[in-house]
């Protein structure tokens, strides 16, 4: 039962009287935050002293979402407990939160979506977000827009929320971004090209058809993907149908947009106001923290609407100090701007805290320096210690005089000895006291990794790093075994470097196209230029996407042969049993999906079958009538197979005729197609002008002769067109048909 009208926005969604549902993917399906996430899920990491999940809930509550499904995998018990104990599960919050635990075998957002499908929980359009979202966006407006679009066009399946930011914004991930191709008028997303920071992506391939079909196209490389999607009910089932979709963007969006079978549309909603970003890695953790502290997320700021329910006082220079007078600041300590200090924290004399976040119950010793540091609850920073651009987990103890240099991540409960020195980008976590023999509650895969790390520790060599009396283990900077594994580009080591906190990655050669935009003041000219360049590159590639096809090169030849046979049989059956054109088209699409063949192949099969269907009979009029019958009955099928390309159709017809005994019928067939409006005059001219049409590249032989004969027929036809035009504009097209 939906809760009583509460979140206020229900009225606006009004007449439809539907509960707005949201799905949170609480698991991140990657390990970018390790070792902070060794003992807890990422969505329970605190940012500005409230867990990411709380920020996400608040973002959704703000938008008037009433029912939330939280999909959790690792540490599901902790997530469930956190939800149970939070203020959100109280009836007065107006939210209904249902945690759903997926199987351990869920390794990607795609798997999670398939799980959602099997659960059958989604009843209407829903909002899909990740469990690490910080946003003050009015999602309800996006939902309304999505629904309006959907009423107009049933094939609109998704609206992605993106935020304009400029190419080099701190909150914009450099390692995992994308080029969006949008229709300027409708903001339909026409193409999505994922971009990795390293190896640098220099080319974006944009299918030719997009530029042909849309008069005005925007290429955007300045958008932050907020990973807020308004999805239709079909989306989980599409994941179910395409079991190889793993990532929401790189696989699903890319796949849907490049597929000429699905015919689904995806739109973008470019945020004009409001803030939305996800905490995907340590670098964005840093950026989002800063955005919160400098109030970009207003009214979702610590002193106003803190999701964790804490109260902070906002002081000059965006300093936030817990309100309950429990913070002890020494008289001589210095608190810099953009700092948040949790309740019961005490800061010693001469300590210097700049642009940092301190959790609750922390103690900072005398003379310690925290700069750009994120310190979770209950941590002790020893006297004279220096922590810079680092994240320190809950309950950690940093010894006196220790140094934690930038980019380091210190796990929960780690003890670093006095004068320990963590060099740049070191990751340390706590050594487990006793190995659990059964490992029942821990993730097997994670366990083995931990074991490996533990085994590799050399106590003596590490002593100066972690200090005396430490319980820490140092994680290797990179995992050698990973290089053998088939690894995602995005997760590769060098690309990951772009996601580390405090890493400028200046030694990596990045040809970030963002730097190009900077030098060019006029963004219009930039997009024009790149579209030209991009269109040239795409014209060299064949229309179907090369990357998708290349995956299956091995199976290709086998499946091609199979496809031909199947398609012929299917069409034969359709002709014989008199199926509807639509049914036949669906059957062909299914076949094509199963065999993964290019569209041209399907067209060849259809055209071939049509030509063979024509019986050679005596008498020109009888012959013409027969052809006209067949084309009228089945001709539209050529355009129903998932793409319209009349020039190609003519070319295929030509080659098929040249090969078969029905060569003399070519002229009549072409005329019939023309009359049925399947090919236009311009298409015939375009075909005629192509070198392939003349058969120039062919070796001399019967095929070439046939092709040339057809070409001659075509020339005659064009001559007729010309004649007709000069004769009179008025003359009907039937006239030309009769003269033929």
| List of residues contacting other proteins (CB under 8 A) | 4, 6-8, 61-62, 91-94, 163-170, 172, 222, 273, 275, 290, 294-299, 304-305, 311, 314-318, 337-338, 518
Q: Shortest approach of other proteins to residue 164 CB, angstroms?
A: 5
Residues linked to residue 421 through DSSP beta bridges, in sequence order: 403
Q: Shortest approach of other proteins to residue 182 CB, angstroms?
A: 16
| CA 605 to each of CA 577, 585, 626: distance values in angstroms, whole numbers, following the listed order | 18, 12, 20
Q: Of 295 and 601, which has the nearer Cβ to other proteins?
A: 295
CB 315 within 8 A of CB 336: no
Q: Shortest approach of other proteins to residue 548 CB, angstroms?
A: 33
Q: Of 254 and 312, which has the nearer Cβ to other proteins?
A: 312
Q: Of 297 and 538, which has the nearer Cβ to other proteins?
A: 297
Nearest 10 degrees: Cα torsion 416, 420, 422, 426: -40
Q: Shortest approach of other proteins to residue 58 CB, angstroms?
A: 8
H-state helical runs in 596-690: 599-613, 620-634, 637-640, 646-659, 666-675, 681-689
| Residue where the block lists tokens 């310690």 | 368
Distance between CA atoms of residues 65 and 84, nearest Å: 18
Q: Shortest approach of other proteins to residue 92 CB, angstroms?
A: 4
**φ, ψ for residue 225, nearest 5 deg:** -80, 110
Q: Shortest approach of other proteins to residue 198 CB, angstroms?
A: 20
**φ, ψ for residue 167, nearest 5 deg:** -70, -25
Buried b (16+ CB within 10 A) or exposed e, 236-253: bebbbebeebbbbbbbbb
Q: Of 243 and 298, which has the nearer Cβ to other proteins?
A: 298
Q: Of 49 and 338, which has the nearer Cβ to other proteins?
A: 338
Q: Of 166 and 643, which has the nearer Cβ to other proteins?
A: 166
**φ, ψ for residue 638, nearest 5 deg:** -60, -35
CA dihedral for 710, 711, 715, 720, sign (positive or negative): positive
Q: Of 222 and 225, which has the nearer Cβ to other proteins?
A: 222
Distance between CA atoms of residues 668 and 617, nearest Å: 13
Q: DSSP letter string over 388-429?
A: ES-EE-TT-EEPTT-EE-TT-EE-TT-EE-TT-EE-TT-EEE
Parallel, antiparallel, or unpaired for β 346-347 and 265-271? unpaired
Q: Of 62 and 204, which has the nearer Cβ to other proteins?
A: 62
| CA 584 to each of CA 441, 565, 628: distance values in angstroms, whole numbers, following the listed order | 52, 15, 20
Q: Of 4 and 331, which has the nearer Cβ to other proteins?
A: 4
Q: Shortest approach of other proteins to residue 681 CB, angstroms?
A: 47
Q: In terms of C-beta density within 10 A (0-12 exposed, 13-18 middle, 19 or more buried), how is residue 398 classed?
A: buried
The encoded tokens of residue 37 equal 């996430």
Q: Of 400 and 503, which has the nearer Cβ to other proteins?
A: 503
Q: Shortest approach of other proteins to residue 290 CB, angstroms?
A: 8
Peptide bond into 299 cis (omega under 30): yes
Q: Shortest approach of other proteins to residue 341 CB, angstroms?
A: 16
Q: Of 62 and 230, which has the nearer Cβ to other proteins?
A: 62
Among 132, 219, 207, 154, residue whose Cα is nearest residue 499 = 132
Nearest 10 degrees: Cα torsion 7, 13, 18, 24: -60
Within 10 Å of residue 695's Cβ, how many Cβ atoms? 21
| CA 721 to each of CA 511, 617, 654, 691, 707: distance values in angstroms, whole numbers, following the listed order | 52, 28, 19, 21, 21
Q: Of 341 and 609, which has the nearer Cβ to other proteins?
A: 341
Q: Of 270 and 718, which has the nearer Cβ to other proteins?
A: 270
Q: Shortest approach of other proteins to residue 427 CB, angstroms?
A: 25
Q: Shortest approach of other proteins to residue 586 CB, angstroms?
A: 45
Q: Shortest approach of other proteins to residue 176 CB, angstroms?
A: 17
CB 286 within 8 A of CB 374: yes
Q: Shortest approach of other proteins to residue 170 CB, angstroms?
A: 5
Within 10 Å of residue 194's Cβ, how many Cβ atoms? 18
| DSSP letter, residue 2 | P
The encoded tokens of residue 636 equal 């539209």
Q: Of 49 and 639, which has the nearer Cβ to other proteins?
A: 49
Q: Shortest approach of other proteins to residue 163 CB, angstroms?
A: 7
């Amino acid at each position: 039962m939906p809760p009583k009208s509460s979140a206020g926005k229900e009225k606006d969604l009004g007449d439809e009287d539907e509960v707005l549902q949201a799905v949170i993917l609480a698991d991140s399906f990657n390990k970018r935050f390790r070792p902070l996430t060794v003992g807890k899920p990422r969505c329970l990491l605190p940012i500005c002293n409230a867990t990411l999940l709380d920020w996400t809930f608040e973002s959704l509550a703000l938008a008037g979402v009433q029912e939330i499904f939280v999909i959790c995998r690792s540490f599901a018990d902790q997530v469930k407990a956190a939800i149970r104990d939070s203020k959100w599960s109280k009836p007065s919050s107006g939210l209904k939160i249902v945690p759903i635990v997926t199987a351990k075998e869920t390794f990607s957002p795609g798997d999670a979506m398939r799980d959602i499908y099997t659960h059958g929980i989604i009843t209407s359009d829903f909002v899909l977000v990740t469990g690490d979202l910080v946003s003050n966006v009015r999602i309800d407006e996006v939902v309304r827009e999505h629904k309006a679009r959907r009423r107009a066009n049933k094939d609109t399946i998704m609206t992605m929320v993106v935020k304009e930011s400029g190419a080099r914004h701190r909150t914009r991930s450099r390692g995992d971004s994308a080029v969006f191709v949008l229709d300027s008028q409708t903001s339909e997303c026409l193409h999505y090209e994922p971009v990795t920071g390293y190896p640098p992506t220099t080319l974006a391939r944009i299918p030719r058809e997009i530029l042909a079909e849309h008069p005005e196209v925007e290429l955007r490389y300045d958008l932050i993907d907020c990973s807020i999607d308004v999805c239709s009910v079909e989306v989980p089932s599409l994941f179910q149908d395409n079991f190889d979709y793993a990532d929401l963007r790189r696989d699903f969006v890319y796949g849907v947009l490049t597929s000429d079978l699905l015919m689904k549309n995806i739109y973008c909603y470019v945020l004009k106001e409001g803030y939305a970003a996800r905490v995907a890695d340590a670098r964005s953790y840093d950026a989002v923290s800063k955005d919160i502290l400098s109030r970009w997320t207003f009214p979702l700021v610590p002193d106003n609407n803190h999701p964790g329910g804490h109260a902070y006082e906002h002081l000059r220079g965006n300093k936030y100090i817990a309100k309950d007078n429990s913070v002890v600041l020494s008289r001589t300590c210095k608190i810099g701007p953009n700092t948040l200090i949790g309740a019961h924290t005490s800061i010693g004399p001469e300590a210097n805290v700049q642009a940092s976040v301190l959790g609750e119950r922390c103690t900072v010793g005398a003379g310690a320096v925290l700069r750009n540091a994120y310190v979770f609850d209950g941590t002790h920073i020893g006297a004279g210690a220096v922590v810079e651009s680092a994240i320190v987990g809950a309950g950690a103890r940093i010894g006196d005089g220790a140094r934690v240099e930038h980019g380091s991540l210190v796990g929960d409960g780690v003890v670093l000895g006095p004068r320990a020195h963590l060099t740049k980008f070191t990751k340390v976590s706590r050594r487990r006291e006793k190995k659990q023999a059964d490992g029942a509650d821990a993730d097997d895969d994670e366990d083995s990794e931990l074991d490996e790390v533990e085994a590799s520790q050399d106590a003596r060599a590490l002593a100066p790093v972690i200090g005396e009396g430490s319980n820490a283990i140092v994680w290797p900077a990179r995992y050698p075994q990973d290089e053998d594994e088939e690894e995602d580009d995005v997760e590769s080591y060098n690309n990951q470097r772009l996601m580390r906190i405090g890493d400028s990655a200046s030694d990596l050669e990045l040809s970030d196209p963002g730097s190009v935009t900077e030098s060019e003041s006029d963004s219009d000219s930039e997009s024009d230029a790149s579209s030209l360049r991009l269109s040239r590159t795409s014209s060299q590639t064949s229309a179907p996407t090369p990357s998708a096809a290349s995956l299956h090169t091995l199976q290709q030849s086998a499946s091609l042969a199979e496809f031909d046979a199947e398609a012929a049989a299917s069409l034969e059956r359709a002709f014989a049993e008199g199926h509807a054109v639509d049914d036949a088209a669906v059957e062909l699409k299914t076949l094509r999906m199963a065999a993964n063949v290019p569209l041209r192949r399907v067209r060849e099969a259809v055209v071939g079958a049509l030509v063979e269907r024509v019986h050679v009979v005596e008498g020109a009029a009888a012959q013409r009538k027969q052809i006209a019958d067949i084309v009228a009955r089945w001709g539209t099928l050529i355009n129903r197979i998932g793409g319209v390309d009349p020039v190609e159709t003519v070319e295929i017809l030509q080659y098929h005729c040249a090969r078969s005994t029905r060569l003399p019928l070519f002229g009549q067939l072409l005329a019939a197609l023309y009359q049925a409006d399947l090919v236009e005059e311009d298409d015939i001219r375009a075909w005629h002008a192509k070198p392939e049409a003349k058969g120039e590249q062919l070796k001399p032989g019967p095929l070439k002769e046939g092709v040339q004969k057809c070409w001659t027929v075509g020339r005659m036809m064009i001559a007729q067109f010309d004649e007709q035009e000069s004769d009179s504009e008025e003359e009907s097209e039937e006239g030309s048909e009769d003269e033929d």
